Amino acid sequence: MGQLTLGVGEYGASNIIGEEVKTYALGSCIAVILLDPQTRTIGMAHIALPDSSINKNKAAEKPGYFADTAIPALLEEMARYGCHKKGKGMVVKLCGGANVMDTNDTFQIGKRNALAIKKILWAHDMGAVAEDLGGNFSRTVSVSVESGLVTLSSPGRPSWQL
């Protein structure tokens, strides 16, 4: 079975039945998953940081790295699959955004990522229907193109679905 694997700061889409869209070990990073029922396309971005203003070069080279550049880039990619350019009708799911235990404000990267992503989705008139965010554990996420089912796993825990 085919698999589209996305590393940190990467984004991509698939409409191939039987394929899985997958990303490994999201700590404070967040996977934004866009499911388009119209075209049966699954898009995903593995976002590391909330805002590209800290490094414009990196954003140009890897737009998927930052929340503000990743979401427009993912929508553009999905438009190539015939999806609506502004994400109309898409179902949004979010997972990741973990924080370390007893963390202080500075280290709440997961939380800042989640806030930034939600703000940008909001600006696109999109909102998450399901989310599995926060906590202090790492998540591996896999989405089946055929069923749209999102499966999560983490070492030492049974897998679960979203």
Partner 1 sequence: MNKKLSHSELLAIVKSVPMLTPSANQLLQLTAQEDHDLADVVNLVKTDAKLTARVLKVVNSAAFGLLSNITSIDRAISYLGERIIVSIAIGDSAGKLFDKELAGYEATGGDLWRHDLRTAIAAREVASQSGADISPDLAFTAGLLHDIGKALISDYLLGTAPDAIQMIRSDESVDYLTAEVAMVGFDHTQAGYELAKIWQLPEALVEVIRYHHQPSQAGEANRALVYAVHLGDNIAMLSGFGTGADSMQYPLDPGYGNYLSLTPIDLENIILTVDSEFSKLQESLTANGEE
User: Would you name the residues annotated as active-site residues?
Assistant: 29
Element (H, E) at 74: helix 67-79
**Which two tokens mark 4?**
């589209």
Q: Which of 143, 136, 135, 108 is nearest to 32 (CA)?
A: 143
Q: Which of 160, 70, 74, 67 is nearest to 109 (CA)?
A: 67
Pick the piece of the chain touching partner 1 (CB under 8 A) from 32-40, 107-115, 116-124, 142-150: 107-115
| Comparison of 21 and 49: residue with beta carbon closer to partner 1 | 49
| Comparison of 29 and 35: residue with beta carbon closer to partner 1 | 29
Contacts 24+ apart (CB under 8 A), 100-107: 100/136, 101/136
Quote the least distance from Cβ 12 to partner 1, whole Å: 18
Q: Is 109 in the site for partner 1 (CB under 8 A)?
A: yes
Residues in the chain, overall count: 162
Quote the least distance from Cβ 2 to partner 1, whole Å: 22
Quote the least distance from Cβ 114 to partner 1, whole Å: 14
Residues near partner 1 (CB under 8 A): 8-9, 24-29, 48-51, 54-55, 58, 65, 98-107, 109-110, 112, 136-138, 155-157
